[in-house]
Structure 1
Amino acid sequence: MRVALFVPCYIDQFYPQVAVASLELLEKLGCEVVVPKDQTCCGQPMANSGFASSTAGCDTNFSNNFEGFDYIVGPSGSCVLHLKEHHPSEKIRNSVYEICEFLTDVLNVSSLNASFPHRVGLHQSCHGQRGLRLSSMSERNEKPFSKLQDLLSLVDGVEVVMPTRVDECCGFGGTFCVTEEAVSVKMGQDRIREHDANGVEYIIGADTSCLMHLEGILRRQGSKVQVKHIVEILNHA
């Protein structure tokens, strides 16, 4: 299977290890992975700030880099959801997958050569949960499920502990963390307080933007808790 790896701009700049882990994991699972060299931002920050007309250049560049692939896979739920809902190309909208969604729904992964003997707290980001349906929503009367937890169950030694409020927002919200800084920080502190109560060593999730927000609060608190993208765990041998 030939797969194009979409690397969101903030991962490229701040968390390149997430892109490397995504590449390695997909190759371990038998995919031929291509990383288009001229890819840039997907346009989500402009669109979410009310400047959708400013995304035309991003849309065109994304099409030029990814139009020829049947599968486009990226390690960011919010960026993938933006592309699924707003990219002008129907082929792009139907071809792009968040990486956990791709692993469970397309590759049907049932085993992994991975080990991570640590106690981790799982953060389920809003876009992935409510937009991509990576997990069930507590406000709905539905059978609980989590594609992230299903994948983590394949990793030897990892102990996953969920916070009391399993699907509450961390407060990042893109530009929300800038325009409503105090509210954003308080929401992040509340999330961290629940994970701290569970005695976790790591907070993990599928959206590095949320993890970046939580990591900033953890560092300011002098906490020893670390953050990792889920693909870093799934790829950890």
Structure 2
Amino acid sequence: MRVGFFVTCLVDSMRPSIGFSAIELLESAGCEVVVPPAQTCCGQPAWNSGDRQTTRDLAIKWLKEFEAFEHVVMPSGSCASMVVSHYKQVFDSDPDLKWRASQLAQRTWELTDFLVNVLGMDKLKLRKSPELSKVTYHDSCSGLRDLGVKAQPRALIDQLEGLELVEMKDCEQCCGFGGTFAMKYGDVSSAICSEKCENIENANAQAVVLGDLGCMMNIQGRLARKGTHVKVLHVAELITGKS
């Protein structure tokens, strides 16, 4: 199976280990993983900011780079949601591009959804860091609400021997990041994130696991400022033992 891998801007710039972990998982299941070297942004920040022309330009570029692949996978619910849920709106006035976007959307996947529902967990080589025995999971908004990513990461975590998943209070509640929301409404975002971090701490887990780097950065920054020693891990890092 030939898979196009979209690294995403934040993974590329801030935490490349997520990308390498995701590729390791895909290759362990027998996928041929291709990372188009000219890839940039899917257009999500521009879309959220109302810049429709920049969004359209980036979306056209993204289509050209990825539509030849059998499947496209990315370690981010928000970027996957942009392609799956919003590209058709971006190209609403262009029937040809809208059709192409619709076709590609059917082959575009958030990482854990692809691992569980396309590849099958029996093909994956999963492992965890021996220092971890208990984790909690935060459901990122776009993955949960746009793509239905809920059971998939938990199914993968449940396969890790010797690791307990403890659900925090309000695990589906937003962390306050929301892309440009955190910049436009800093005080509100900060209050939301403080509540999320309190719930994480009360779960008494050694790590909080997520599927979106924006949420990871937001939560990790707040926990660090509070002096809380809870690791913040992408699910791909956890299930490849890169924690």
TM above 0.5, yes or no, is: yes
Shift of 1:42: 0.2
Instruction: Establish whether residue 206 from structure 1 lines up as the match of residue 211 from structure 2.
Output: yes
- Structure 1 window deviating more from structure 2 (71-80 vs 103-112): it is 103-112
Structure 1 residue ranges without an equivalent (≥5): 136-145
1:166 aligns with 2:166: no
So what's the TM-score if we normalise by structure 2?
A: 0.89
Of 133, 136, 139, the residue aligned with 1:118 is 133
Following the alignment from structure 1 to structure 2, what is the Cα–Cα distance between the partners of residues 115 and 149? 14
Q: Could you tell me which residue of structure 2 aligns to residue 25 of structure 1?
A: 25
Q: Is 2:229 the partner of 1:230?
A: no
2:119 is paired with a residue whose SS is: coil
1:26 is displaced (CA, Å) by 0.6
The 5-angstrom pairing of residues 1-237 of structure 1 reads: 1-87=1-87, 88=98, 89-110=101-122, 112-116=125-129, 117-135=132-150, 146-236=151-241
In structure 2, distance between residues paired with 1:96 and 1:118: 33
Aligned positions, number: 227
Amino acid across the alignment from 1:115 = K
Partners of 1:112 and 1:154 within 8 A in 2? no
5+ unaligned residues in a row in structure 2: which ranges?
Answer: 88-97
- Percent identical pairs in the alignment equals 34
Moved over 3 A (4+): 110-113
Deviation at 1:56, TM superposition (A): 2.1
1-structure distance, mates of 2:67, 2:223: 39
Shift of 1:200: 1.5
The structure with more helix, counted as a fraction of residues: 2
- Corresponding residue of 1:138: none
Q: Secondary structure of the residue that 2:121 maps to in structure 1?
A: coil
Deviation at 1:174, TM superposition (A): 0.6
Counterpart Cα distance in 2 of 1:37 and 1:231:
21
TM-score of the pair, normalised by structure 1:
0.91
CA displacement 1:48-101 (0-9 Å, x = unmatched): 111222212211221221111010000000000010122242222121100011
CA contact (8 A) 1:83 1:93 kept: yes
Q: Distance in 2 between matches of 1:4 and 1:102?
A: 12
CA RMSD of aligned residues (A): 1.4
Distance in 2 of aligned mates of 1:59 and 1:51? 12
Distance 2:224 2:169 in 1: 23
| SS at 1:106 equivalent | helix
